[in-house]
Structure 1
Amino acid sequence: MLPVLLFLLRRRSSSDFLKKIPGPISSSWIYGHMRELILAENYGDYEFKWQEQYGMVYKVKGCFGQERLMVSDPTALKYILSDNVIFARSEQHQRVVRELVGEKTLGYVHGADHRRLRNIMNPAFSASYIHTLPPVFKKVADCLVEKWETAQESHTSGSLMDIFHSLHDASLDAIGEAVMGFSVQTNPDYVKSYHDLLTLSSPRSNSAILVDALIPFVPTFLLRAAMYLPTSASQFIQKNKEISAHVTNELFESRKETLKMGDEIGHDLLSNLVKATMSDNAAAKMTHEEFSQAISTVVIAGHETTANAIAWALYELAKNPEYQEQLRQEITTKLATGDPNYNDFDALIHLNAFMKEVLRVYAGLPVSERQVTKDTVIPLSQPIITATGEHIHEIPVEKGQHIAVTISAYNKLVPFWGKDALEFKPSRWIDGNVPTSNAIGPYANLLTFLGGSRVCIGWRFAILEIQVILSELLRHFTFTLPVESDICCNVAFTIIPVAKSSGSPSLPLIVTRVE
């Protein structure tokens, strides 16, 4: 009860202005609207309806009466994402990042340290370096194809395969090869530690919602002590940190020794970071702790979201065989000879339209939480109309206000995407029925990779990985939904496919070799 009392004492009462903003009525003071947002059978069942009813900015209740603003207004989002000091990551997010990875990572630090780390890491995610990666991703895709073909050997008409975890293995291997020059499949313990982390984010429950709400109010020493309790969660996290540190330290020492001998060590992220730890320039120097945490952050953040995007792509292709055949024909025709390069993949009109629609409908991270650190005024692109008919053109917010950057909802704004915004419709990207102005994110006017100074550093990496792996899988296999498919779209930190019957991450498809 103590954290709850502290919460109530610290929480500001809502300003009279905030009370004017419309929103749904909550039936629970304890949970607010969090059960509807998090425990919905399919993510967005409530949120997208609320957006349609109340507009691009509305308020909901968090746990224990907390006021939260749900924001998808493009002008407001640009303002919020342009200043990560006033609109800082929420305290829940910061504490989870600190315990999972550390407090020297890109996702935790601010200001000058954030700029320094980002500048050090940027070259390994630049367009010029990404252009060199198709052969790396092709190698990973070939290994996945071989694995699935082996599983198919005793079947002549296709077999039911749960492909969820093997896609995550492939994405983890892509990160390992392209970021570290390391085949993660040679270290089963390393792979298992990431499988275990994935299981931690999957369970959804009322108690999990309350634990998340109380995290900011638990004293740091208690939170850190809890990490050493004999629970499966703490053991999985500690094991992952230990194994990751061991692997990155071995790679660090190997690259460092190569550099000392005067040999070239490459341009991947790990090599760039090793060079940064040896730099004499303070503005370009990285500590060993920052090095280790940077690698762990990229692996955790990068492999899960990309694997889930590929999973959702295959799910939609299994639902829509006409898309599947169209893409297969395009791939086999335009990538028929030689080793395709970056430009070859970028020229696949139908594949890229399909990918954009996957990333629009299934944004990996559906919401990004922010907390206001200084009183400010948020501008709006369209006025909010209150119950009394008043038009609000800007929103004053106080220090401590919680704001949800509603990524998935922004990607489905009817004023931007049309009345069919909730439909999966790749043709919109070919017909030109997509927004071409007011872009916030770096790719296709989507917010999937966020924007501003916190834009996803690996967005180009993710796009190419999806292009290459999807192309190879479609070249070799057809995908069909089983008769009794019960896949739901759940939020478990990221958007994942979950079997309704078991509640576990899963994507069973009938996979058949292309003859």
Structure 2
Amino acid sequence: MGGYLMPASVSQLILSIFVLFAAYGLFKLFQLIALDINSPIRDLPGPPSKSFLFGNMIEMKAQDGTLETYIAKYGDAMKYWDMLGVTRLCTVDLKAINYVLMHSNDYQKPEPVIYHLQRIVGQGLLVVEGDVHKQRRKILNPAFGPLQIRQLTEIFVDKAIELRDVWNSTIQKQSKSKNAATVDAISWLNRVTLDIVGCAGFDYDFQALYSEHSKNELHRAFDTMYHAILNFELIHIIRSLVPLLRFWPSPSDSKLKQAKDTVFRIGGTLMERSKKNAMAYGKSNTDRDILSLLTRANIDPDVPTNQRMSDEDVLSQIPTFMLAGHETITTGTAWALYSIARHKDMQSKLREELLSIPTDSPSMDVLNGLHYLDNIVRESLRLHPPVPETLRVAMKDDYLPLSKPFKDRNGGQTLSIPIRPINLAESTWGKDAWEFNPDRWDNLPEAVSSIPGVWGNLMSFLGGPRSCIGYRFALVEMKALLFTLIRAFEIDLAVPPENVRGTMGLRRPTLTSDPVNPNQLPLVIRPVVRS
């Protein structure tokens, strides 16, 4: 039999489409090369690119602290290479950083980053820019203010106590004679922070502390969305950089769509419940979760129409809040436990302060009044910010006020805001900048006051109009967890400290000695014997 012959018109159409995409790809490649040739940072010092495809990304991912090493070698204003020949300006010049953060409309997230986040979390606060961001931020601010966090502190503490009790049970099961146990801090903190953000965010208890092997539907959906953020496959990189190819399907697209559908379906049910409660009880409604607060504000006749969000806008905040709040607090608390475990004298000093409080259930004001606990949290977030770097792109021609200013002639220049390198700069913090020293917060160098962070002379929560809206939530939750765990347990590292390093992107502690299962932080815990 003869073979099937494709009609000439169809083959010509396919060839035309192929040529079109090839031409577009060449155009984008030429555009990138032209942008680099005309780049105002072309003559800045920096590491040589290892490859056109990956730039310096592979070495930065492979070795923790690579960006800090680059800055130490090439100076406070330098460049490094992103993928496909794109250069990034990276500076720890505080005047320039403050300028970029305060002019958030002129320096926005790069479009490929927005695309990647948007396909996962939708139109949440993390993604929107300009006037839309300003309006939503104004509406959301009360939900993250001191009054609201004060009301949520009981949830933080109650869940921390549940984790304490689970760890006590683990000790009993693992070794009754030694009265000790080894636990994976990452795994357990992941569960407790998920429970906290569920209850505090939208009155939904995942019960993750008690469901190690049987995650509920919403828990599985958020797991899928979280891994979609971290697993930036090659096809996603291509789609983010070449908008014309965003129709190109990815093997993970169907799973992600199913997860998002689950989140918005269950979120919609929870929002309708909040609406019914708000309409039934009005201002006497005592529901304290953030979703209920937003729902009440949206139907309050005293709130102007332009200060309300649509139901769709309210729902879009759920995945953003879950993913941003849950993972970053897990990471921040894990690094704090790591630091405390390495410095037993500091751990003892902290425990002495915490045990001076006569209750297991402190208020927000009590937690914030514990001086050494505050120093510990500040120092841990200085050394180990959960997000070590963020990106911005110039939306127009501009002069960046560096020590040696230059003009971005064409806009479009990508800038790295190196959060961790700024937190570790010896020129600002002194010669012991890389050391864990909580006492430094009692006598800070004068240069620290120039850091434009929203909290504590740190860049960990950024600054300006796009600073982290949930920083108070994160701080009080971290303090509640540390308060409860350090009062109850002596904590040691179960591995040598040099076996633990941070990852690129979200800077989680990982175990280098277990490449098969690196996402862990093993701790040895023993009950505290109170005299």
TM-score of the aligned structures, taking structure 2 as reference length: 0.86
Q: Residues 341, 213 of structure 1: CA spacing in aligned structure 2 closer, same or farther, 3 A cutoff? A: same
Q: Is 1:506 paired with 2:520?
A: yes
The structural deviation recorded for 1:262 is: 3.7
Say which SS state the counterpart of residue 139 (structure 2) adopts: helix
Residue 224 of structure 1 and its aligned partner are, at CA, apart by: 5.6
The answer on 1:360 being equivalent to 2:388 is: no
Structure 1 equivalent of residue 309 of structure 2:
286
2:291 is aligned to 270
Q: Structure 2: give runs of 5+ residues left out of the alignment.
A: 1-20, 209-214
- Matched position secondary structure for 1:446: coil
Which residue identity does 2:109 align to in structure 1?
A: R
How far is the alpha carbon of 1:487 from its aligned partner? 4.0
Change (3 A) 1:425 1:236: farther
Structure having greater relative contact order (Cα 8 Å, sep ≥ 6) = 1
Aligned to 1:133, the other structure's residue is in SS state helix
C-alpha separation between the residues in 2 aligned to 1:61 and 1:113?
32
Helix, strand or coil: the match of 1:504? coil
Aligned residue in 1 for 2:117: 97
Correspondent of 1:217 among 217, 229, 241: 241
- How many Å separate the matches in 1 of 2:225 and 2:187? 12
Q: C-alpha offsets along residues 270-329 of structure 1, whole Å, 9 cap, x if unaligned?
A: 023223543673311211211111121111111100111111111111111111111111
Moved over 6 A (4+): none
Among residues 309, 319, 322, which one is paired with 2:332 in the alignment?
309
Note the aligned Cα RMSD (angstroms).
2.4
What SS does the corresponding residue of 2:99 show, helix, strand or coil?
helix
Q: Secondary structure at the match of 1:184?
A: coil
Question: Mapping of 1:323-334 within 5 angstroms?
Answer: 323-333=346-356
User: In the alignment, which residue of structure 1 is the partner of 2:74?
Assistant: 54
Whether 2:466 is the aligned partner of 1:454: answer yes
Displacement of 1:496 = 0.6
Structure 1 residues 78, 136: CA separation in 2 closer, same or farther (over 3 Å shift)? same
Go from structure 1 to structure 2 and tell me whether the alpha carbon gap of 1:6 and 1:425 turns closer, same or farther (over 3 Å shift).
farther
Alignment-mate amino acid for residue 218 of structure 2: Y
Separation (CA, whole Å) in 1 of partners of 2:498 and 2:222: 25
Paired with 2:278 and 2:367, the residues of 1 have a C-alpha distance of 34
Aligned to 2:94: 74
Q: Deviations over 1:63-106 (max 9, x none)?
A: 2221210122111111111122221101221011210011x321
Out of 259, 269, 286, the position equivalent to 1:240 is: 259
Partner Cα separation in structure 1 for residue 184 and residue 108 of structure 2: 39
- The 1:197/1:322 distance shift into structure 2, 3 A limit, reads farther
Is the CA contact (8 Å cut-off) linking 1:121 and 1:269 kept in structure 2?
no
SS at the partner of 1:153? helix
Tell me what 1:193 maps to: 221
Q: Return the offset for 1:16.
A: 6.7
State the match for 1:389 in structure 2: none
Q: Residues 120 and 506 (structure 1 numbering): CA distance in 2 closer, same or farther, change over 3 Å?
A: same
Counterpart of 2:344, as a letter, is P
Q: Alpha-carbon deviation of 1:17?
A: 4.2
> 1:97 corresponds to which letter in structure 2?
L
Could you say if the C-alpha distance between residues 194 and 423 of structure 1 is closer, same or farther in structure 2, counting changes exceeding 3 Å?
same
Report the residue type matching 2:342 in the other structure.
K
CA distance in 2 between partners of 1:224 and 1:513 (Å): 56
Residue 396 of structure 2 corresponds to residue 374 of structure 1? yes
Whole-Å separation in 2 of the counterparts to 1:471 and 1:422: 25
Q: Give the residue type in structure 1 aligned to 2:433.
A: A
Which residue of 1 is the match for residue 170 of structure 2? 151
Which letter maps to 1:117? R
How far off its partner does 1:485 sit?
6.0
Match of 1:403 in 2: 415
Mapped partners of 1:199, 1:504: distance in 2? 15
Aligned partner letter, 1:50: Y
* Alignment correspondent of 1:388: none
CA distance in 1, matches of 2:451, 2:39: 33
**What is the CA–CA distance in structure 1 between the aligned matches of 2:495 and 2:307, rounded to whole Å?**
56
- Does 186-195 or 107-116 show the bigger shift? 186-195
Q: Would the aligned equivalents of 2:57 and 2:83 in 1 still touch at CA under 8 Å? A: yes
Report the more deviating stretch, 409-418 or 335-344: 335-344
Task: Report whether the alignment pairs 1:258 with 2:277.
Answer: yes
Equivalent residue number for residue 342 of structure 2: 319
SS of the residue corresponding to residue 265 of structure 2 reads: helix
**Secondary structure at the residue paired with 1:424?**
coil
The sequence identity of aligned pairs, in percent, is 27
Alignment of 1:168-183 (within 5 A): 168-183=190-205
- How many Å apart are 1:441 and its aligned residue? 1.1
State whether structure 2 residue 490 is matched by structure 1 residue 478.
yes
For the pair 1:167 / 2:181, whether they are aligned, the reply is no
In structure 2, C-alpha distance between the alignment counterparts of 1:456 and 1:89, rounded to whole Å? 14
SS at match of 2:296: helix
- In the alignment, is residue 345 of structure 1 matched against residue 367 of structure 2? yes
Which of 423, 433, 453 pairs up with 1:421? 433
Q: Which amino acid counterpart does residue 523 of structure 2 have in structure 1? A: L
Give 1:10's aligned residue: 31
One-letter identity of the residue aligned with 1:393: P
Give the Cα separation in 1 of the matches to 2:410 and 2:446.
35
1:412, distance to aligned residue in structure 2 (A): 1.0
**Matched letter for residue 142 of structure 1:** I
Cα pair 1:486 1:499 within 8 Å, conserved: no
Partner secondary structure for residue 183 of structure 1: coil
SS at match of 2:401: strand
Tell me whether 1:31 sits opposite 2:45 in the alignment. no
Give distance in 1, aligned partners of 2:408 and 2:344: 49
Q: 1:486 to 1:234 in 2, by over 3 A?
A: farther
Structure possessing the higher radius of gyration over alpha carbons: 2
Give the direction of change, closer, same or farther, for the CA distance of 1:322–1:198 in structure 2 (3 Å limit): farther
Contact 1:120 1:272 in 2 (8 A): no
CA contact (8 A) 2:157 2:361 kept: no
- The number of equivalent residue pairs is 491
Query: How much does 1:258 deviate?
Result: 1.8
State the SS of the aligned residue for 2:416.
strand
Alignment partners' CA distance in 2, 1:141 and 1:188: 21
